[in-house]
Amino acid sequence: MKFQLFNYFKDGATVAPGIMVGDTAYDLQGACSSAANVTLDEILERWEEANLWLGSLAKDISGWPQGYGAHEILLTKLRYAPLLTRPGTIYGAGANYRDHVEAMAKALNMNLCADPKSEGIPPWHFIKASRGSLAAHAQDIDFPANTHMLDWEAELAVFIGKRADKVSVEEALEHVADYSCANDLSARDHLKRPQVDESSPFRFDWIGHKTFNGSCPVGPLLTPAQFVESPENLAIKLWRNGDLQQDSNTSNHLYTIADQIAYISQRIELFPGDIILTGTPAGVGMEKQTFIQRGDVFTVWIEGLGTLENKIV
């Protein structure tokens, strides 16, 4: 029985975990004695064990929903919280969709390799600050100061549920707990520091470019990996104010999720609660020099995972 997980604000302030079975949401701590006082962060830390009792709970709820009615959360009253309260490291893949690389090369007249993997070039990642960057579904995101080129990037988010140290590509997906939708918001005009000479290695500012409060909305749900037949064949779309901007499929990944996990784990151990943003497809604002305005609403949908929506204010 398929289930999905989420965090929500219980009693208006306290963050508590929930479980979605079908189209019905339940308070996880109330619905299951095994989950009393347990957080989603802790569930990821012992994912293999937790996944078993969560599956059993979902089966029980599906078979006898009236028995869990006292713990149901009305969707009209559900206010989502960030998926983790103590997220690990957020890794972001750069230039990882074939269609995005082709579009950026054309728009910016850049010589970008359209098939770096075949040429032996390894994956490329940056890091976003975790706790301050993470934002929830339906959370308003403050427009960052002194930015005029704020951009959107729909992405598939991968949540690690098992420590991964120097793992192979073949075993990499065994370390994935869940998948979700993400929007890697990017302040393009903060990538380069204008006061610094172009030849200086200190000219680039990836923190300014990728990290500010709420720069990483993710959610609304965590979908366990066993319910995703292939993370390399998922439709992914993004709308800006109802207008479709990105429309692609994860089959356009230049480096698979397994490639990325294996590569990162050769350099540094991955831990439960770490998140990998796996790249964005064509259709970002940078390609056509069109950027986010205050009041814009962004909707990210990924096949089988749900719909993430945020307003920039």
Task: Please write the tens of the pLDDT for every residue from 255-299.
Answer: 999 999 999 999 999 999 999 999 999 999 999 999 999 999 999
Give the pLDDT of residue 137.
Answer: 98
Is the torsion defined by CA of 312, 305, 25, 242 positive or negative? positive
Is the torsion defined by CA of 186, 207, 223, 221 positive or negative? negative
**The pLDDT of residue 225 is above 70:** yes
**Mean pLDDT for the stretch of residues 66-88:** 97
**The pLDDT of residue 190 is above 90:** no
The Cα–Cα gap between 59 and 175 comes to 24
Residue extents of the structural domains in the chain: 3-81, 90-311
Task: Please give the mean pLDDT across all residues of the chain.
Answer: 94
Question: Concatenated DSSP letters for 135-148?
Answer: E-TT--BPPPTT-S
User: Using CA atoms in the order 236, 176, 138, 280, what is the torsion angle rounded to 10 degrees?
Assistant: -40
Give the pLDDT of residue 115.
Answer: 80
**The pLDDT of residue 186 is above 70:** yes
**The pLDDT of residue 198 is above 70:** yes
The Cα–Cα gap between 194 and 203 comes to 8
HSE (side-chain half, CA atoms, 13 Å) at 23? 1
**The pLDDT of residue 108 is above 80:** no
Percent of the chain with pLDDT over 70: 99
**Mean pLDDT for the stretch of residues 173-197:** 92
Dump pLDDT digits (tens) for 18-72.
999 999 999 999 999 888 889 999 999 999 999 999 999 999 999 999 999 999 9
Give the pLDDT band of residue 11 (cuts 50, 70, 90): confident
Question: 282: closest CA among 114, 82, 63, 33?
Answer: 114
The Cα–Cα gap between 303 and 156 comes to 10
DSSP summary character for residue 45: H
Percent of the chain with pLDDT over 90: 81
- Contacts of residue 103, Cβ cutoff 8 Å, sequence gap at least 6: 282, 283, 287
- Give the architecture (CATH level 2) of 90-311: Alpha-Beta Complex (3.90)
